[in-house]
Structure 1
Amino acid sequence: MVLILTAALTGCAGPSLDAYRDMEPTLTPQEFFTGELSARGVVKNYSGKVIRTFDADISASWNDQGVGTLDEVFRFNDGEVQTRVWTLTPNENGWLHADAGDVVEPGIMRWQGNAINMNYVLRVPYGDGTIDVSMDDWMYLITPDTLINETEMTKWGFKVGEIVLVIQKQ
């Protein structure tokens, strides 16, 4: 019974970055996230239904200490506009510590091959207040100028939504 349970739980686990080690083109955050980028995407609810669409402009830069800034402006189809400014700071392991004003638990951006993974907790508007949602963010470089981003959103371990978008360098 223990072996069956272990196999079932292992089968539910998502991919690891090691699975992308040899995939190309190689994705390096400091190279892709530089200059002006644009994005288009969808927000899905827990059942997979598209509930919103959006486009975004991203200005990305890096300073002499290797700290990156991603200044994002999202425009949703219902008229809402959201902004987020990410600060990406190198850590002792060579990864990037990722933080923003509405991120209540910052993430560590890790990458191998053509993939980036980052987990963090984001505070999002909900009803008359806010809710903290865990974000499992995966990015895949398809061409040197095109990246696909998939993010699963969970609360208390349950899937509450998903975001899928394409980011392109200008």
Structure 2
Amino acid sequence: MKFNIVKLISLSVVAILITSCSTKLSDYEENNPKFDIKRYFAGELIAWGMVQDYTNQVTRRFCVELTGTWTGDQGELAEVFYFKDGEVSYRTWQLTKLENDEYTGTAADVVGIAHGKQSGFAFQWQYQLLVPVDENTYQFTMDDWMYQLDEHRVFNKTTMNKLGVKAAEITLFFDKAHPSKTCDLKEVV
């Protein structure tokens, strides 16, 4: 009996330590500037990114052209991805702003509805993404964290999980102030 109580207390302490160390969106509530998704993702902007596999090796590099339009609380974010290996892919998000700085979204390669919430200068976006690999399509759980650095720049880290295991990380840097709002294919391809 004494051993079970000690074991239970030890497991409780470990659980508390693990959950207290994890980042919560609310941790950023007091940080500025407040990330206004509708305002930032309106108009044309550009982003550069890379994909790293589970060993942290960079496996792909890319540039993205984005165009966002909003009518009230309904938005569309059209994305064109230019990968260094020559692939070009497209995704168009249909976005809805809800109460309490929450958002939902759908896209052709997203299973179900994406859910996101803004707090302070951060935004967390979670969804299931279908990714074609060779002749197969796999479903990944995406945990997307965006951080607004200033009025022009946003840093984005996304974890791709499959069956609860990290398969890859995607890092993006958005820039609204870049003089050219298009990807220079000579630099990307």
Q: Give the match for residue 133 of structure 1.
A: 140
1:97 and 2:104 equivalent?
Answer: yes
Distance 2:21 2:105 in 1: 27
Distance 2:14 2:89 in 1: 42
1:149 and 2:156 equivalent?
Answer: yes
Determine if contact 2:101/2:119 at 8 Å carries over to the other structure. Answer: no
Determine if contact 1:105/1:122 at 8 Å carries over to the other structure. Answer: no
Distance 1:143 1:93 in 2: 22
Relative to the length of structure 2, the TM-score reads 0.84
- The residue type paired with residue 113 of structure 1 is G
Cα shift at 1:94:
5.0
Equivalent residue pairs, number: 168
Distance 2:84 2:127 in 1: 25
Cα shift at 1:2:
2.3
Instruction: Give the secondary structure class of the aligned counterpart of 1:106.
Output: strand
Match of 1:168 among 172, 175, 180: 175
Cα shift at 1:5:
3.6
Q: Give the match for residue 36 of structure 1.
A: 44
Percent identity of the aligned residues? 36
Distance 2:115 2:86 in 1: 31
Distance 2:158 2:67 in 1: 20
Cα shift at 1:25:
1.3
- The residue type paired with residue 66 of structure 2 is I
Runs of 4+ residues over 2 Å off in structure 1: 90-94
RMSD: 1.5
- The residue type paired with residue 101 of structure 1 is A
Distance 1:45 1:160 in 2: 6
Match of 1:7 among 10, 16, 23: 16
Distance 2:101 2:159 in 1: 25
Match of 1:68 among 43, 62, 75: 75
Cα shift at 1:108:
1.3
Distance 1:54 1:160 in 2: 18
Higher Cα Rg, which structure: 2
Please list the CA deviations of residues 67-101 of structure 1 after superposition, one character each: whole Å capped at 9, or x if unmatched.
01100000000001110000111335552111111
Structure 1 segments unaligned to the other structure (5+ residues): none
Please list the CA deviations of residues 18-49 of structure 1 after superposition, one character each: whole Å capped at 9, or x if unmatched.
11111111101111111001000100101111
Relative to the length of structure 1, the TM-score reads 0.93
Structure 2 segments unaligned to the other structure (5+ residues): 1-9, 178-189
1:88 and 2:100 equivalent?
Answer: no
